[in-house]
Amino acid sequence: MSVETLDIKEAARGEEIVSYDPATGEALGRVPLLRVEAVVRAVQAARAAQKDWAARSFRERGRIVLAARGIVLKELEEIAALIHRESGKPAAEAISMELVPTLDLMQFFARKSVRLLKPERVGIGQYSLMGRSSKIIYKPLGVIGIISPWNFPWAIPMGEVVMALMAGNAVVLKPSELTPLIGLKIGEVFRRAGLPEGLLQVVTGDGSTGAALVEAGVDKIMFTGSVATGKRVAEMAARRLMPVVLELGGKDPMIVMDDADVERAAHAAVWGAFANSGQACASVERCYVQSRVAQKFINRIVELTRGLKQSAILEEEPDIGSMSSERQLEVVEQHVQDALSHNARALTGGRRKEGAGGWFYEPTVLVDVDHSMKVMRDETFGPVLPVMTFETEDEAIRLANDSVFGLTASVWTKNISRGRHMAEQIQAGTVMVNEVLYTHGIAQAPWGGVKESGLGHTHGRLGLLELVQPVHVHVNRMTILRDFWWFNYTPRAAQLFRGFARRFATGNPLQTSLLLPSMIRRYFERRS
Ligand code: NAD
């Protein structure tokens, strides 16, 4: 197999998908729709390129990632404008929520992967008294398939591409069909940074292209997307015994205790629920406020929500742009309608934005909601902030845990030890105290969900470890002795094994030392 970057246009044999600006409906471009054969070729070419890459030092790999970082920084405005146009989010938000975290992630993994993946000595207790030692070394897995969603079309795939490359792997990236131009831009940035030919392949297409990638013989899939698709990916991967990381949906609760800074919590709730039009896996999807401060908190979030600017026009400096697709907007409409039909009230919003053209939904605050409603159970993934009240800490924790999801959660209180204590009781991959939404942006810390929110991690050392094969290397330097437990199992050997059970297995060297006479007898028995 030659080392080449697939010419996806030629490989697609004329089949295409169209990328649209969701704020205007304008077609932004056409990209190839790749089928099975082309995806398999991309994986084979990536594998051919990986061997040389794995042999390079961390420093050499890091140099290329930092060169790519330089290009991203230089073209910051252009990339932010592309993200704005293809996803509908304001360019300012593309910079703050996608580009800043990625630039930090790039410098972090370019510099620190060498330390994070350093071979590790493992303490092996009393076995080390017998001249043995153990180390874990971390080897690249080979080819990593990355399947990514449209909601953070730059930050999610870029972060995983960087981590996979730094770990010594090749990558085949399948960006969302709604945001393929951003996926191709990631490939272009690395090509210009001098990444070896073939090592990063971007295969554009739809769900069938993603499924083809899962079946194409990669060594691991990093999947980010919906629970339904994640389960399908896991099933396909299980048939091949291929590992997967699944970063799936969320229904993230925010708990506001009555000793919280209500003003700050209100600002956080509004940003946490409405940033990216609420289309973040870690958006505040459910808010619980303690009754004593509920009215004050609700009044304030309604006031702040009404003050948000929603527009597609960058010159108007919008806070909220359009949603990324009509399909998602319809989910939001269904959830809000379901709640209103069960006596919930919309204090602001509750409908599409009039005369806006694209897929705009007004930021919405709902009250009088309960857990029988879709808006409190299923992922809404839109600009909706439903608020319930509670009386006690236990009730708040019970409500927060009453969900099939467990991605992030937040607790708001001035009493930090109470916040930590509550955090320990909440079922989620990340629990924040007095913070909301943003921790995916912390490259140094792990990211991952529990329950239906996913499996495994990305980011941080735990995320990097997903992209390598740990190998236990065990060495015995004391080669003059045969191990006591080798053949033959004479009565004396069996007696010694009983001694091991009673004494060695206590982990106490003093106890083990009492076995020395039996060991010496076993040694001479074998020599005779
Ligand atoms: P999606 O599941 O529809 O699509 C995700 C990706 O999977 C796309 O690239 C798509 O083409 C591909 N795909 C579709 N069918 C496939 C198949 N059968 N096999 C393989 N790949 C297939 O999700 P989406 O609508 O793009 O993204 C929104 C979802 O992603 C939300 O549920 C959100 O919570 C979740 N998400 C989770 C995280 C996280 O970190 N946990 C981050 C962002 C988004």
CATH number at 375 reads 3.40.309.10
Neighbours of 251 (CB within 10 A): 27
**DSSP β-bridge partners for residue 409:** 431
Residue 81 makes CB contacts below 8 A (sequence gap 6+) with 91
Q: Are residues 325 and 185 in the same domain?
A: no
Q: How many domains does the chain have?
A: 3
Cβ(381) – ligand 1 distance below 6 Å: yes
Which residues in the chain come in under a pLDDT of 50? none
Q: Are residues 142 and 184 in the same domain?
A: yes
31 vs 152, 176, 186, 269, 294, CA distance in Å? 19, 12, 14, 38, 50
Q: Are residues 501 and 389 in the same domain?
A: no
What's the pLDDT at 287?
A: 98
Cβ(276) – ligand 1 distance below 6 Å: no
For residues 322 and 329, what is the distance between their CA atoms, to the nearest angstrom? 9
Q: Are residues 407 and 290 in the same domain?
A: yes
Amino acid at position 6, single letter: L
Looking at the domain assignment, is residue 454 inside a domain?
A: no
Whether residue 247 lies in the annotated active site: yes
Residue 297 sits at the vertex; the CA angle it makes with 296 and 299, to the nearest 5 degrees, is: 65
Cβ(150) – ligand 1 distance below 6 Å: yes
Q: Is 214 left (phi over 0), alpha (psi -120 to 50) or beta?
A: alpha
Q: Please identify which of the residues 86, 177, 247, 362 carries the catalytic annotation.
A: 247
What's the pLDDT at 181?
A: 98
Whether residue 281 lies in the annotated active site: yes
97 vs 154, 187, 302, 337, CA distance in Å? 10, 20, 24, 30
Q: Which domain holds residue 143?
A: 32-248+461-470
What's the pLDDT at 1?
A: 55
CB 272 within 8 A of CB 254: yes
Q: Are residues 194 and 315 in the same domain?
A: no
Q: Are residues 364 and 503 in the same domain?
A: no
For residues 475 and 469, what is the distance between their CA atoms, to the nearest angstrom? 19
For residue 476 the two structure tokens come to 């015995």
Q: Are residues 258 and 244 in the same domain?
A: no
Three-state DSSP state, 183 = helix
Residue nearest to atom 34 of ligand 1 (CA): 249
Residue 167 is part of a domain; what is its CATH number?
3.40.605.10
Q: Which residue has the tokens 């590790």?
A: 120
Atom of ligand 1 nearest to the CA of 228: 2
Looking at the domain assignment, is residue 20 inside a domain?
A: no
Select from 281, 331, 459 the residue to mutate for testing ligand 1; criterion: most ligand atoms less than 8 Å from CB.
281
Atom of ligand 1 nearest to the CA of 174: 9
Looking at the domain assignment, is residue 70 inside a domain?
A: yes
Question: How would you list the strands of the sheet with 430-433, edge to edge?
Answer: 345-348, 364-367, 384-390, 284-290, 252-256, 408-412, 430-433
Looking at the domain assignment, is residue 5 inside a domain?
A: no
Q: Are residues 244 and 105 in the same domain?
A: yes
Neighbours of 413 (CB within 10 A): 23
Looking at the domain assignment, is residue 520 inside a domain?
A: yes
What's the pLDDT at 433?
A: 98
Q: Are residues 242 and 273 in the same domain?
A: no
What's the pLDDT at 9?
A: 82
Amino acid at position 339, single letter: A
Cα 39 off chain centre by: 23
CB 184 within 8 A of CB 157: no
**One-letter-per-residue 3-state SS of 143-156:** EEEEECCCCCCCHH
Q: Are residues 243 and 262 in the same domain?
A: no
Q: Are residues 96 and 230 in the same domain?
A: yes
pLDDT per residue as tens digits for the range 147-197: 999 999 999 999 999 999 999 999 999 999 999 999 999 999 999 999 999
Amino acid at position 28, single letter: L
Residue nearest to atom 12 of ligand 1 (CA): 207
Q: What is the dihedral of CA 171, 181, 443, 106, to 10 degrees?
A: 70
What is the 120 CA–ligand 1 centroid distance (Å)?
A: 35
Cβ(210) – ligand 1 distance below 6 Å: yes
- Kindly give the pairing relationship between strand 450-451 and strand 220-224: unpaired
What is the 232 CA–ligand 1 centroid distance (Å)?
A: 11
Nearest to 71 by CA among 225, 173, 192, 239: 192
Q: Are residues 398 and 520 in the same domain?
A: no
What is the 157 CA–ligand 1 centroid distance (Å)?
A: 12
